[in-house]
Amino acid sequence: MVSALIAIGGAAKAYNDDVAEKKAKLAEIEAVKTEWLFKTGMTNIQNRRESLKAARARISEAKRFGFSQKSARALEMAGQLEFEIEKVKSLISKDKLSETYIPTLVSYLEDKVDNDEDLAAAVSRGLQGDSLVSDEEQSLGLINALGDLNKLQEEFMKTTTGGRTGIPAFQYTPTKGARIELSDMKSIRSQLASTLNTIYADSFQVNQMGEVTFTQNAKPEVQRLFNTLSDKVKILAEDPTNTFSPTTALNTVIGSIQNSQNVSPAVVVEKLDEAITTPNFNWEPFRTNELPKNPPPGNGGGNGNPADDI
């Protein structure tokens, strides 16, 4: 009988020791989980805080370069602002930034945002998206949940959501931004002069240096047309919303006016944008007299294919 009681007592002690050991191990596991959840949650909050701080700094820097708040925020949310800032800074340091690049890009971005309800709402909400809980509130939530593993897990999950909101990348030509150099403009003006000479009776001269001068035959409206065409090639070539290189921009502009014989230069200027964007633009209704029997060669197309040869 005594031996039986001793055996039972020994078994009970062994059981109690096993339970105690398991409880100790469980407590150890919970302590490790608690430490990991708390430290990782705090790290998530800190990383997000630093990320938002860096994003806001980029937006502020972009605004100093001429980007609007809306356009800079949109680029940041699309993950494209850092690249644009570095590109602009590099071009400025080399005195090569196109004067029209940033205003054109800003206009394009704001138009995209304003004409897309979902995109406009996302950009309006800003970098923190739909999160209604501040970093401070999340930190306090983690601290208050210590001692309750289930509650701590709930508070931890809040640190893994919200924060920086992403939107789809904007489609434009990121390799643009540089100003068309004078040497390129000289070549462009030379080729334009050669084309216009076939339409406006030798109104231009091109010297051996490639420089264009007006002859006595060049009427004021022809000179204005020439300058307008030169400016249009430059604008198209520098515009980040298309894929025109200087060469394809020039070919497109020349193609748009090659069939404009006997059309008033003032009318050509007025209809130029339409002619550029309209394939095979019809100049016939605007002619002042009959077309010559042997017009200069050219396809007369109003929208040469903007090949991707940037």
pLDDT tens track for 15-24? 665 666 677 7
Residue 99 identity: E
The domains of the chain are located at 2-158, 182-286
Reduced to 3 states (helix: H, G, I; strand: E, B; else coil), residue 234 is: helix
How far out from the chain centre does Cα 81 lie?
7
Distance between CA atoms of 256 and 58, rounded to whole angstroms? Answer: 41
pTM, full prediction:
0.76
Q: Would you say residue 263 has pLDDT above 80? A: yes
Length of the chain: 310
* Residue 135 near residue 48 (C-beta atoms within 8 A): yes
Cβ-based neighbours of 149, under 8 Å, separated by 6 or more: 30, 33, 34, 37
The proportion of the chain whose per-residue pLDDT surpasses 90, expressed as a percent, equals 52
Note the pLDDT tens digit of each residue in 122-177.
898 877 655 556 777 778 877 887 877 888 788 878 777 766 678 999 999 999 99
Note the pLDDT tens digit of each residue in 9-48.
566 666 665 666 677 777 778 888 888 888 888 888 888 8
Q: What is the pLDDT of residue 152?
A: 78
Other C-beta atoms closer than 10 Å to the C-beta of 72 total 26
